[in-house]
Structures are given as C-alpha cells and as structure tokens.
Structure 1
Amino acid sequence: MEKFRELGVSEEMLKGIADLGFETPSPVQEKAIPVILGEENDLVVLAQTGTGKTAAFGLPLLQKIEPEWNNVQVLILSPTRELCVQIGNDLKNYSKYRKDIRVTCVYGGTDIKRQIKDLQRGVHVVVATPGRLVDLLNRKAINIESVFAVVLDEADEMLNMGFQEDLDFILSNTPKEKNTYLFSATMPKEVERIARNYLVNQQEISVGKKNQGADTVSHQYYMVRAKDCYETLRRIIDCAPSMYAIIFTRTKNDAQEIAKHLQRDGIDCDALHGDLSQAQRDSVMNAFRAKRLKVLVATDVAARGLDVDTLTHVINYNLPEDVESYTHRSGRTGRAGKEGISIAIIHSKEKGKLRRVENMLKKEFKYMSVPGGEEICRAQLAFYADKILTSEEYEDMDVYAQDVYDKFAEFTKEELLRHLVSYEFGRLLQKYKNTNDLNIEDDDRGGRSERGDRRDRRGRDGDTVYSTFTLNVGREDGLTPKDLMSLINKYSRRRGIGVGGIRIFDTDTKFEIDEESASDFEVDFSKVLFNGIPLEIKAIPTRDRGRRRDDRGRGNFSGRRDRRSNDRGGDSRDRGGRREDRGGSGNGGKRRGRPGSDPKKPRNFNRSSSRS
C-alpha cells in the first residue's frame, strides 16, 4: 500500500482499498491520481477496459469531497446502467470509512421516483447514464450547477450509442469553472470534438497507444462459410473445456438464438440483451459470475460494465459494425494482468473488415484451423483426466471402497479406464466421429483447407447443393432481396443458412436454399406476415426445377389477391406481436408497381451471399 500512500491517497481511502485487496497501483492509477489530486488541469485518459480506471478517478475525487457542503459536487457519466451500478458500488467501497460521503446512482429501467427521493436526501456524488440524467434535469429534480468535477467514463462508447446531444445538454448545465476528466479506450473524432469543446488546458495520459488493444490479449480468427459459423462456434467451445467466455453478437435476436442452440447442445449458457428486465439481467449475471454458466451470449450494449476479470476468451460471432467496438469487446479478457484470447469467426467477405481492425489495433490476427473431431475429443479427455487427478479425497470413501473394489475386481486397469471413458464421453466421441473440414483457406495468410466458397453451387464432390422454393410475395408487395434475407435470418430455426439465387418477380419470388437447411424450412414460416400478407413458402419438386428461369409461376397462388385485400394494412405484426415496418406497402392495400415496369419483361436473377 506504500505506493498508494506515496501518490497522496488518504488513510481512510487506503483502508477501503486494502479491504478490496489492492496492493500496488496500476499504470493508469499511478499516472492519473497525482494529476487529479494536485493539479487543476482537465484530463484525457486513454486506457483499455479493465485497467483500473474507476479507482484512477474515484479515489482522488472522493478525497476532494467537502461533506459539509450538501450539494452534488462530482458527476460521473457512464454509457450503461450496468457500468453505472458498478462504478457506484466501487466508490462506496473505496469510501467505506468515510461515512459522511454519500454516493447515488441514477439510470433507466428502474423507478425514477425512488431515485428522485434519494437525490432529495442530499448526495455528494452522482453516477448517471445520460438519458436518465437528462430526464431528471428536465424535471428540475437535480441540480448540477455546483459540481467541481465531471467524469466522462467510456466516452467513446457513449457517443457510439448516440448520446452526443445528451452529453452536450448535460455539460451545458454544469459550471464553466470545473474540471472535466475524459476516460476512453479509443479516440475517434467525436471524442476529440468533446475534448476540444469542453476541456481546458487538458493533459493527456495514455496507457498503451491510441486505439490499440491490450498486450495481454492474443487475437485469432477462423474463416469459414457463413452457414458453418454456428458449427465452428460449437467446436471452438468444445475444444476448450475450461473456457469462461463472452460471445458477442450484433443483435439481440442473434444472442437469443445462439444461446438457445448452445443450450440445446448441452452447453451451460444464457443470453444477455436489452429486452431483459433488470431482475432478469441480474439473475443471468449472478449465474455467470458464479461460473454456473460457461459462456454468456451478449450484445455490445448489454455487455458494457460487466465486472468480470477472469474471462479466458472473447468470441466475436459477428465482427462489430464499427472497428472501435472490437477494442471494447476484446478488452473484456486479458484483465488484471491475466492472459486472454479474442477470437473472430468470419467468412471470406469479412476479410476487409478484419484487416481494418488489425490496422487500428496495430496487431496481426493469427489464422486458426477449425478443430476437428479428434482434436476436440483429445482436449475433452485430457480435461476430464486432470479433474480426476486433482479431485479431493474424502475419508468417508473408505467405508464404500471395498464395495467398489469388489464390483470392478474382474477388470484390468486398461479395461476399467475404457469403460469410464465410454460412459462419460460416449456421446461426444460418437458426435465427432466423422467431422467435416469447415475451413476456408485464407490465401493472404497461408491457411490450409478446402477452397469451399468458390464452388458452393456446383453440387459435386461434396460441395453445396441447393433446393428451390417459391414465395407468394414479390416486387409489387415491396419485397427486396434484403427483406428476404432478413426474413430468413429472423425466422429460420437453423443458423447460417446458405442462400443461392434470388429472383423477385412482380407477384412472387423464387430463391435457393442449401439442401441441408431445406427439410424444415417451410414450417418455420407458417405464421409469418410480410406487409400484412401471410407467407406461403413451397419447395419446387426436383422434376419441376428444369423449367425456364424466367417462369414467373403466375396463378400458382390461388386466392392470393383476396387474402391481401382482407389482411393487408399500413403496418403488420409478426408472430411475437412486434411491428414489421418494411416500407413496401403503406398504400392502404393498393398494389403499385415501379414506374415504367413491364410485367412481360423478365427480371434479373439477383445473387445474394449467405449471411450469418
């Protein structure tokens, strides 16, 4: 604790952090604490998630509080309620021996009236999410005109989430004579604008380099066909029995679906996304922190502020839309000095995005081969053997030992081991007995495997074979290839379906689905609406596939126009009651073709790649 004392941390604060197990300051704490304690400069701190930023600003600011002055003196803004609560709890623990300092958190998703009552009792430090604080300011329920310090924690993430206007409004309600401390993992232009407009004579502290990942994280990638992404994910998890990881997805629907499939495959996991109530989120997080869950499937927003320092892996099931988000994702592992692995599962069309992430991080990702069955079984068996070797011995076992010896007396050691392995791993060994090679060769990195995605549609030598389907909506119903892909990704029970050709005619559509996914494809869409029209998807029998490509199939959907006149409305709802706003039919039920469209003229055969 001597180094903390040398930085100027008070005795009361030293006691609080000693109870938390702090011994020596992290690099960001060592650099930031003296500046905040002793100088009147504003500060920009660039440091990765998990480097101890909360203590870097929390310890000195708590120490500067004047308890007898019963006003909000310190304002801390964070992007999510999870991070908000985490910061608030940390500050309360640091000031455990300063009973005269009051800290409160205000955030969305909970009763605002209770938060207003807390504020009315008088507080010195407010930790807030931008949206809820704006609401409180508009209600005149909080006064921040007396703060001497404002902290913008995870500033880049707040701007990514669209809080720029809220931040401008909040900062305009604070006094000019204050210190502003901006903490961020990356430094995009929007963060530079905030620093330029609201910070005065700022110093900059950087732990590592701008927009660069932590040195304790190694970066790997697997390149496969889009339809094989889920199978690749499952193999990666099975090949790392001691994995404790977060799997990141772009959307909450993906998070739900992947978690559901992993649970079905016997993997302890759950999903974390924005649709969960606070009680549900707390339940999932408590199970994950207690390691009752092996993996957590989460969206970027939901995973902000997770205070878990022991993750072994982060898996990017989808690369994020903006490359800066990758830094936040990978920063969830390799924390507190531990080593971590960040994995990206990509298909060939995402290579460009991967290269942009590499350029930003100034790190090269290592190409990895998707594990095969033998590799997975060896890893699982070795893990099982280690668990047996390190298991505790119980004295009470002596009572039952002779019964066990008698039971297995006729077996040799080798026979007994084979029985144990068969009993424990029979299904696993059977599942991975004959596995396909899922890899796609990355020519730029010298990866080795089949060149699958250039031959997908040949239908020979084990490559993808497609089945053809018809759909009872078309161009006049507002359907586009993007809409069709969205419907397939949303409602199909299978992940990563391979989509071949798409032909959208005036009143119907033909498209191709990989034959593996075709068996239960029609059933998945039995109750789905598109712009008010109940979808009818039918497979074209093999004998009919030889018909001319420009066969529109007019008249194949009897009663279709009657259904449209009865069911279509300006907006429609899907199976779960959610509104589907496709923009294709807001005409009060009238059909309207494109200007100049000729129903007799064949349409182009649009190609669309599969999406995960």
Structure 2
Amino acid sequence: MKNFEVLGLSQPLLNGLADMGFENPTEIQQQSIPILLKHDGDFIGLAQTGTGKTAAFGLPLLDLIDVNSREVQALILAPTRELAQQICGQMEQMSKHLGKLNVVPVFGGANIMNQIRDIRRGAQIIVATPGRLMDLMKRREVKLDALKYMVLDEADEMLNMGFKEDIDFILSKSDTGRNIWLFSATMAREIKRIVDTYMVQPEEVRINPKNIVNKNIEHQSIQLKASDKIEALRRFLDYDEDMFGVVFCRTKRDTQNVADQLNNNGYATEALHGDMSQAQRDAAMKRFRNKNLKLLIATDVAARGIDVDDITHVIHFALPDDPEFYTHRSGRTARAGKKGVSIALITRGDNRKLKFIASKLGIEFTQGEVPALEAITQKRISRWSENMIKQEINEKIDEQLVNAVQESFADVTKEEIIAKLLTKEYNSIYKRNSISDLNDRSKGRDRDDSPRRERGKRTSRGTEEGMKTYFINLGLKDDINKGALLGYVCDTTGISGAQIGRIVMDKTHSYMDIAEDVASQILTLDGKQRNGHDLRVNEHKGVVKEPARERGGRGGRGGRSGGGFKGRRDSNGGGGFKGRSNSGGSSHRGRRSDSDNSGSGNRSSRRRSDSSSGSNDSGGNRGGFKGRKW
C-alpha cells in the first residue's frame, strides 16, 4: 500500500499526519490527492461514508492555500453542523505545521455575530452549512473575490435534506473562476444536474462500494422479537464492558424512547435527534466523544458528521429502507484501519429487506447471538472478583472500625461472606434482565407479538387464576394501545409477554393481569416517567370489567371486538361511518360536533336511504361501519 509521502504532499502536512497517527492513505485518498494537487479544474469523488473523504480533499486544499493572504480562498459546504465542526477539527490538526491558517466554521443554531467577527479577522477557509452561508452572503459578510475552491462534501446528503435551492444560490453567486470539488456517496439525478449545470469537464474518481463496505466490518444479523430489542441492547452492554457504539433508530420518537429506557435501567446512553436543542446536541456529542457514554442513540440525519475514534459497534435497531443508509451507518465503525461490528436487530418480517441490502451492497450477514444470561453472569462475576482482589485498601480506615466489623462478622464463615457478596452481585444482574432465551427462534418466539398461552379460569373479580391485577395510569389518551403498552411493560420490567394475561384499557388508565411469581416487577414502573407523564402503578383488588364496547367481541388479549369499524366514534353511531362522529346518526363521512343537528338535504336523504337498505345499527353494529373500534 502507498504511504502519504508518495502522493506529493508537502512536509508540513506529512508532519501533521504523523502527529495524528495516519500512516497509509485510503483508496479515495490515494486516487484523489495527486489529481487535486496538479489538476486546475473541477473534480468529482464518489465514495461511501467512512472512506476518508475529508482528508482526500482537505490535504490538497491545505497545500494549495496561500497562508500569507487573509482573503477567503476556499468554501467547504457540509450538510450538518456536526460534520462542519468535524471537518474544521481535522483541517486544524492536519495544518498545525503550516503556519498561520484560519479555518472558520459557520452554521445555524449559533450566534451569527460571533461568526461574522471570526470571518472579519481573516478566514482563508470557511466550512459552512448551506443555509447559514447563504445568509452571510446576502449580508455581504463573505467576500468571494479571491475564491479559488468550492468543495461540496456529502453532496447527496445535502440535497436529500432539502438544500437544493441554497446550493444553487451559492454556486450561481460564486462563479468567479473557482474550481468545484464535489464529493458524494452516489451520483444521484440531482448530483448529475449540478455537474451538468456548474462544472466543466471534471476529473472523476469512483470507488466501488463493494470494495469498501465490508472491508473491516463484520456484519451480523440477529432475529428476535421486537419487544426483546431493548433487552438485547442491555445484554450486549452487560457482557462487553468495552462496548462503545451508535444505535440507529428510524424516528426521533423511537430514538428518545430507547435512550430513556436504557437510562432508566442504569446504562450510560444519550439520544441525538432533530427535536433536541443545539445545546443539548452539543452536550450529548461532548459526552460521547469523551467516552462518558457507552451508546449514542441517533437518527440517520442527526448522526451525520459523527466521526469519533474507536467506535466498536454500530447497531441497527431498525433497518433503513435504503441500502445507502446502511452503508452510511455502518461506516461509523472500523475507521482508520480498525475493525468494527455492525449488528442488525431484525424481526422475522425484516428478512426480505435484509437480503436486499446484502445483495445490493455485496456483503454477507452472519447470524449473531444475543449474549445468554448465563454467559453474562459468568463474565460479570469474573470481573467483579478481579476488581475485588485489585481493590486497594484505604489507609484512612480506622483500625477500631476494622475490629468492630470483624467482631460483627465473628459468627459468619468466610464462605458465607463470599456467598452473600456474590448473591448481591448476582441479583443485580438478574434484576434488570429477564430469564428468556432471546436467541430462541422456535415457532412463535420470533413473532412481533407475545406467544399465545392457555387462558386460566377467571376468579370472581374477573382476574385469571394464578395472576394479580395491576392498575396503570396509562390509557388511550396517552397515545398508547394495548400492544404498545404490552411492549413497554416487557421492555422496562423484564416481564415476558407470556407472563401477562388480560389487558383492559380505557381512556385514562389500564388494568393488566400478571403472573403472581413476577407480578411485583411491574412496581418498578411506579414513579417513573413516560413521555413526560408520571406513572402510577399499584395492585388492584377490585372487580375489573371490560368497557362495554369491548364485550362480546372476538377473543384475544384485552377482549378485542369484531366488526368492520375502521374509524373513531364517541357514541352510538349508525352504519356506514367513515370518519369521526361525536353524536348519533349513520352514514357520517366526515367530522361533526354534537351541535351539528341541522343536517342537509343530502344527509337526510342519505339517512333515509341507509335506513331503507337495512344499514342501521339496531341489529348489533352490523351496518358496514368502517372504522377502528376501541
């Protein structure tokens, strides 16, 4: 493999790379740097995230900048604040032997006047997000008379994030003979439009993603129930004390929920998503970079620009729809020649998508395993024993105190003390993990819902025999249904779905039957929060009756009722309902309030028509009602 010396870089830059511990260039760096140092024209570099594109354009750019001039000579556009900051940091590290060079980051969410002040002091290179740069250009604070280079980093991602008009504005207003260097993971249609519109006979370097994506990354897939995914994360963290990774979720809400559930169980994690303030995002990234977190839980967009050393694992809590996003995600690990693991947590329904990703990217997924509780126990106890032996004795402990403790333990044998200490550590492991075998893929175990079980006889209070009933102040108004409540309880308490029976849900609260031997575990929810809502949980010893709207329906957990209802209503409506109704009547196809009694001719004739055709509701909700019944 070539080293950096043969690429034509100056000695000050080589010294900076040596300080950073870089020895051998990546493929995109090998091919791009010599061209960019000599080619006075436009350039396209196509390579996946994590292949070293920042150094591929950053090193030749630094060698070509005139450090004696205080004018803006290069603009680098990046899609997110985090990536802009990361580029600035790398540029400053690589250029520390070059002399006086100012690289100024500008982005939204920060004080624009401070950024203007930094630019006025003299900035040879500006690294910016498109929106903030456009704002500064309109204020005439960024002067482009001496601009020589315009770099578009992660160009496809900027376009995906809606910066098309901003980029067009910047490129059209900066056409002063500058060269455009465009770096992207793909040559999408919009990228091709930019090339055709603004670039002239560009040189191109294209790195085949199949030569990159699985080079240093081990790709694993683990099939399990959706409700077991949180516990799988807990077990990975319990088993591997050196784990340091990023967990990718599909939505901002999922991201926050996963982080909250892990934090509530004592794990050091942090969420990163678009609903957080910039100060919160900066604080989360600082904690992650300082390795005060074991896992960062992020969305795809929020994770752009994360370039943190020594990430050991990337975990896909939900698979992305686009194979390119899988590559972007997994590229967070195995950087700078190191090894990494990418784990996809999938349900049975994800197998087709997983095969598509594997085929598209030319990678092979091996079947991984969630660490078994027995293996976690053995490893944790072994570490605990080693740490106890290594524990230094505090010299400040008073001898009299030692004698007092020895006297209190006089009737306890050494074996008993060890067993008691071991029991405390053992219980702490089992307290936050269920005894379920998460790797059991037998029929029913890999379903997204809990396995069916035989229903017990009912007591006089309606509770199943061998179970206790608990009240939870979560209901339909809290944006939760029975399936979501079941998953939430399983994920946060360690109770399995097979140990939960009847669920009765109303607007403001719910009742849940739980097997007596594990029932007390649900009390761990009491006093916790869910989406800002303080939870209250207690045993209920009274009679629980299912709401009238749920009686007499089909069987199943919680007494789901039949009927073709596919909407929502708050009182006895008639047939043909296809929207929301708060009062009686049939055939309503929109939304009306209780006071809307006037009716129109059309509505009256429709009611008469429905009535004559036998679609009223007097016969037991059989009138073609097409909504969702609670």
Shorter chain as denominator, the TM-score bin is: 0.7 to 0.9
- Is the 1:489–1:495 Cα contact (8 Å) retained in structure 2? no
Q: Percent identity?
A: 39
Change (3 A) 1:331 1:452: closer
1:549 aligns with 2:562: yes
- How far residue 236 of structure 1 moved from its aligned partner, in angstroms, is 3.2
Residue in 1 that maps onto 2:126:
126
Letter in structure 1 aligned against 2:422: V
State the distance in 1 between where 2:484 and 2:166 align: 34
Residues 9-158 of structure 1 correspond to what in structure 2 (within 5 A)?
9-144=9-144, 146-158=146-158
Residue in 2 that maps onto 1:424:
425
Residue in 1 that maps onto 2:625:
603
Deviations 1:121-142 (A, max 9, x none): 3321110011111222233332
- Is the 2:244–2:295 Cα contact (8 Å) retained in structure 1? yes
Residue in 2 that maps onto 1:264:
264
TM-score, normalised on structure 1? 0.73
State the distance in 2 between where 1:6 and 1:305 align: 29
State the distance in 2 between where 1:265 and 1:398 align: 33
- How far residue 352 of structure 1 moved from its aligned partner, in angstroms, is 2.9
Letter in structure 2 aligned against 1:345: L
Secondary structure in 2 aligned to 1:180?
strand
1:234 aligns with 2:247: no
Residue in 2 that maps onto 1:247:
247
The one of the two structures with greater contact order (alpha-carbon pairs below 8 A, sep at least 6) is 1
State the distance in 1 between where 2:268 and 2:283 align: 14
- Is the 1:185–1:327 Cα contact (8 Å) retained in structure 2? no
- Is the 2:250–2:318 Cα contact (8 Å) retained in structure 1? yes
Residue in 1 that maps onto 2:546:
540
- How far residue 341 of structure 1 moved from its aligned partner, in angstroms, is 1.0
State the distance in 1 between where 2:114 and 2:290 align: 30
Secondary structure in 2 aligned to 1:288?
helix
Residue in 2 that maps onto 1:477:
none
Change (3 A) 1:524 1:334: closer
Change (3 A) 1:185 1:395: farther
State the distance in 1 between where 2:287 and 2:591 align: 45
> Which runs of 5 or more structure 1 residues have no equivalent in the other structure?
442-447, 474-482, 499-507, 529-537, 558-563, 566-583
Secondary structure in 1 aligned to 2:234?
helix
- Is the 1:288–1:296 Cα contact (8 Å) retained in structure 2? yes
Residue in 2 that maps onto 1:328:
328
- How far residue 59 of structure 1 moved from its aligned partner, in angstroms, is 1.7
Residues 100-499 of structure 1 correspond to what in structure 2 (within 5 A)?
100-144=100-144, 146-175=146-175, 177-209=177-209, 213-384=213-384, 418-429=419-430, 431-432=432-433, 435-439=435-439, 441=441, 450=444, 452-453=446-447, 459-460=453-454
State the distance in 2 between where 1:541 and 1:244 align: 47
- How far residue 83 of structure 1 moved from its aligned partner, in angstroms, is 1.1
Deviates more, 1:366-375 or 1:214-223: 366-375
State the distance in 1 between where 2:287 and 2:293 align: 6
Secondary structure in 2 aligned to 1:279?
helix
State the distance in 2 between where 1:224 and 1:117 align: 54
State the distance in 1 between where 2:209 and 2:349 align: 29
State the distance in 2 between where 1:159 and 1:92 align: 27
Secondary structure in 1 aligned to 2:325?
helix
Deviations 1:340-379 (A, max 9, x none): 1111222233333322222222112223344442233234
Deviates more, 1:376-385 or 1:270-279: 376-385
- How far residue 29 of structure 1 moved from its aligned partner, in angstroms, is 2.4
State the distance in 1 between where 2:171 and 2:112 align: 21
- How far residue 489 of structure 1 moved from its aligned partner, in angstroms, is 6.4
- How far residue 381 of structure 1 moved from its aligned partner, in angstroms, is 3.2
Change (3 A) 1:288 1:67: closer
Deviates more, 1:164-173 or 1:22-31: 22-31
Change (3 A) 1:168 1:428: same
Deviations 1:282-332 (A, max 9, x none): 322222222221111122222221231211111111222433212111111
State the distance in 2 between where 1:588 and 1:40 align: 73
Change (3 A) 1:377 1:545: farther
Secondary structure in 1 aligned to 2:301?
helix
- Is the 1:211–1:361 Cα contact (8 Å) retained in structure 2? no
Change (3 A) 1:409 1:77: farther
- How far residue 606 of structure 1 moved from its aligned partner, in angstroms, is 6.4
Secondary structure in 2 aligned to 1:302?
coil
Letter in structure 1 aligned against 2:552: G
Change (3 A) 1:35 1:410: farther
CA RMSD of the aligned region, Å?
4.9
Bigger Rg, structure 1 or 2: 2
- Is the 2:214–2:363 Cα contact (8 Å) retained in structure 1? no
Change (3 A) 1:425 1:49: farther
Residue in 2 that maps onto 1:501:
none
Deviates more, 1:362-371 or 1:406-415: 406-415
Letter in structure 2 aligned against 1:124: Q
Secondary structure in 2 aligned to 1:381?
helix
State the distance in 1 between where 2:225 and 2:381 align: 29
TM-score, normalised on structure 2? 0.71
State the distance in 1 between where 2:512 and 2:187 align: 43
Letter in structure 1 aligned against 2:424: Y
Residue in 2 that maps onto 1:478:
none
- Is the 2:564–2:625 Cα contact (8 Å) retained in structure 1? no
Q: How many positions carry a matched residue from both structures?
A: 541
State the distance in 1 between where 2:311 and 2:296 align: 11
State the distance in 2 between where 1:194 and 1:495 align: 50
Residues 518-533 of structure 1 correspond to what in structure 2 (within 5 A)?
none
Change (3 A) 1:417 1:215: farther
